[in-house]
Amino acid sequence: MSEDEEQAEIRHELASAEAVRPEEFDVAIRVRGLVNRFGDAVVHDHLDLDVRSGEILGVVGGSGTGKSVLMRSIVGLQIPQAGEIEVYGKSLDTIADEEESRDLRRRWGVMFQGGALFSTLSVAENIQVPLREYYPRVDQQLLDEIAAYKVAMVGLPPDAGPKFPAELSGGMVKRAGLARALALDPALLFLDEPTAGLDPIGAAKFDALIRELADTMGLTVFLITHDLDTLYATCDRVAVLAEKKVIAVGTIPELLATEHPWIQEYFNGPRGRAAAGCNQIAERR
């Protein structure tokens, strides 16, 4: 095969990866009976959760309730003691074939807390890491094209590509982390506290970016946050972790109608009321 033919084949493979149709699945992520323990400390005790295709699901809960552990379990970075996790009908546990496992993993992108960029690589090189891993034969020109496209997609200026993380503002680091999570054109996006550490204006812009990308790309988003403004601005539904389980899932009005004390305190406490008030003002504009 000539080099041109090989690159054409790789381009075709990349294009096919974009052909994932989340709408074929009503439920993108299905978790049943999840148990996670560290020594004697039980984090999840038979936790159930469905993430619907195409929704932005906010995941909230007090500190240490196991939001990150849940995310890590879903993407295969944490091996649970018990339970089933299916993503688009497949379970990493039961996939025997390495190729099939790679195919499933390619369907999601993860933005860890703090962006988790490689400090010795430029923004463009960071974005290219997952591309190199999944498509080792892709030539540099195509890698550069894709990185430039992702940089633009998350609203970074073109000159951000060659910069190193230390040269970027906090908001730009978040956007670069998001660009890397989007490198493989995932159907599913995992975001762990994406607005933590941003000023309110930067956080609001980032919320708007997530909502816009999710709408235009038809993404399903699993979004861990403590930020009430983010919940109001971006999430279709919210899952509440407490008592080692998901104690409620629903829209914010549905959650407000439940009587659980933590949910009432969270949404009806001073910060919750302030976020709800700001949201109503924004909607009237």
Ligand X SMILES: Nc1ncnc2c1ncn2[C@@H]1O[C@H](COP(=O)(O)OP(=O)(O)OP(=O)(O)O)[C@@H](O)[C@H]1O
Nearer to ligand X, 125 or 229 (CB): 229
User: Who's near 17: CB < 8 A, 6+ residues apart?
Assistant: 106, 184, 185
Beta carbon nearer to ligand X, 147 or 223: 223
Please work out the total of residues on this chain that contact ligand X, with binding judged by CB under 6 A.
10
User: Residue 185: which region, alpha, beta or left (left: phi > 0; alpha: psi -120 to 50)?
Assistant: left
Quickly count: other Cβ atoms within 10 Å of residue 214's Cβ.
19
Query: Residue 213 or residue 239: which is nearer to ligand X going by CB?
Result: 239
Distance in Å, CB of 218 to ligand X, minimum = 27
Cβ at position 81, least distance to ligand X in Å: 13
Minimum CB separation from ligand X for residue 139, in Å?
39
Can you tell me which residue has the tokens 């629903």? 250
- Interface residues for ligand X in 19-78 (CB under 6 A)? 38, 43, 61, 63-69
Q: Is 143 in the site for ligand X (CB under 6 A)?
A: no
Q: What is the DSSP string of 140-162?
A: HHHHHHHHHHHHHHTT--GGGTT
CB of 123 to ligand X, least distance (A): 26
Q: Minimum Å distance from CB 173 to ligand X?
A: 18
To ligand X, the closest distance from the beta carbon of 131 in angstroms equals 29
Half-sphere exposure of residue 108, counting CA atoms within 13 Å on the CB side?
Answer: 25
Residue number, 63 or 216, with CB nearest to ligand X: 63
Residue with tokens 């906090």: 170
Question: Residue 21 or 46: which CB sits closer to ligand X?
Answer: 46
Nearer to ligand X, 59 or 131 (CB): 59
CA gap 215, 204 in Å, rounded: 17
Question: Which residues, including other chains, have CB under 8 Å from residue 84's CB and lie 6 or more apart?
Answer: 30, 31, 32, 33, 34, 91, 93
Give dist(CA 54, CA 261) in Å, integer: 30
* Nearer to ligand X among residue 47 and residue 275 (C-beta): 47
What mask of x and - would describe binding to ligand X in positions 89 to 118, judged by CB under 6 A?
A: ------------------------------
DSSP summary character for residue 36: E
Say if residues 119 and 125 touch (Cβ distance below 8 Å).
no
SS percent in the chain: helix, strand, coil, step 5: 45, 20, 30
Least distance (Å) between residue 204 CB and ligand X:
21
Binding site for ligand X (CB under 6 A): 38, 43, 61, 63-69
